Amino acid sequence: MNAPEERGAVVVTGTSTGIGAATAVQLAKQGFHVFAGVRRLQDGEALQAQTQNGLTPIQIDITDQESIAAAAKTVAAAVGKRGLAGLVNNAGIVKPAPVEFQPIADFREQLEVNLVAPVAVTQAFLPLIRLCTGRIVNVGSIGGRLVLPVHGAYSASKFGMEALSDALRLELRQWQIHVSLVDPGATDTAIFGKTLAELDGLKRRLGKRGYELYSAQIDAIRKTVVKTAADAGPPLEIAQAVSHALTSDKPKARYLAGHGAKAAAALARTLNDHVKDAAVAKEVGLPEPE
């Protein structure tokens, strides 16, 4: 195994739990020096306990420009002219709600965290990536290819990540800076519990009329989330895809990883919209058209 720092330095956002934590630990074990982005330093200390060395927590709020700039300054001081071998944009949230009644503040927060923030983080760290022709890995979602009801805002952010990754891949091709997108399927992380909590709060957030209209759909999606969580695969599968994107001589533009990712992508790619809608509605258990 390579000694820590032999592969260079990488920044990974959203490493407190789940995919981000698994990725940070995996990369550190593979010889990268990982700057693990966390909002609370105690989360970073827990990560350090899983690695003998090669991992440095950095406190960063990806929705705060000053916090991003401070983190970039800290990393720049540490790596100097060696630059960054990679940036992994992983942090994300889910704000489920029917589009008709979703509070606009929630919709904006969804896009801000999952789409706008990765742009801001990428802009801040690209000068360091240029120094050693590093790579960028964006963590999307199978929800960026196949939309579920009550997840419109989430899928909008992840469809946007698809476009962002395509744009960066083309724009940075001139300097041989590879950009990859990893689309996870169902992965065993805290996001399921957070999604259920958000769904349970919709009765209050949607108002009486909104909840009455969409309660059957919300119940169906809640059951789907519970079932999907039970079938979810380990975060390590996603971490391994990220690792391949950062280390392979021929990194892929897109990776499908985790439980059900390939099947869902095939469904999105091969069926026309009417057939696809019918298939999703049946799988989820949506109410029949009135």
Indicate which residues carry an active-site annotation: 154
| pLDDT at residue 113, as a whole number | 98
Choosing among 3.40.50.720, 3.30.70.100, 3.40.50.300, 3.40.190.10, the CATH entry for 8-284 is 3.40.50.720
The DSSP string of 129-162 is HHHTT-EEEEE--GGGTS--TT-HHHHHHHHHHH
Q: Tell me, what's the pLDDT at 1?
A: 38
pLDDT single digits (tens) 179-219 = 999 999 999 999 999 999 999 999 999 999 999 999 999 99
Distance (Å, whole) CA 158 – CA 140? 6
pLDDT in 10s for each residue of the chain, 290 residues: 344 447 899 999 999 999 999 999 999 999 999 999 999 888 888 888 888 789 999 999 999 999 999 999 999 999 999 999 999 999 999 999 999 999 999 999 999 999 999 999 999 999 999 999 999 999 999 999 999 999 999 999 999 999 999 999 999 999 999 999 999 999 999 999 999 999 999 999 999 999 999 999 999 999 999 999 999 999 999 999 999 999 999 999 999 999 999 999 999 999 999 999 999 999 999 999 98
Q: What's the CA gap between 18 and 219, in Å, rounded?
A: 25
Q: Collapsing DSSP states into helix, strand and coil, what is residue 87?
A: strand
Q: Which two tokens stand for residue 285?
A: 């258990």
pLDDT of residue 2: 43
Q: Using an 8 Å Cβ cutoff, are 99 and 142 in contact?
A: no
Q: Which residue, chain included where needed, has tokens 């869902």? A: 264
DSSP characters for 33-76? EEEEEESSHHHHHHHHTTSSSSEEEEE--TT-HHHHHHHHHHHH
Token pair 């700039």 is at which residue? 69
The first and second tokens of residue 283, run together, are 């799988």
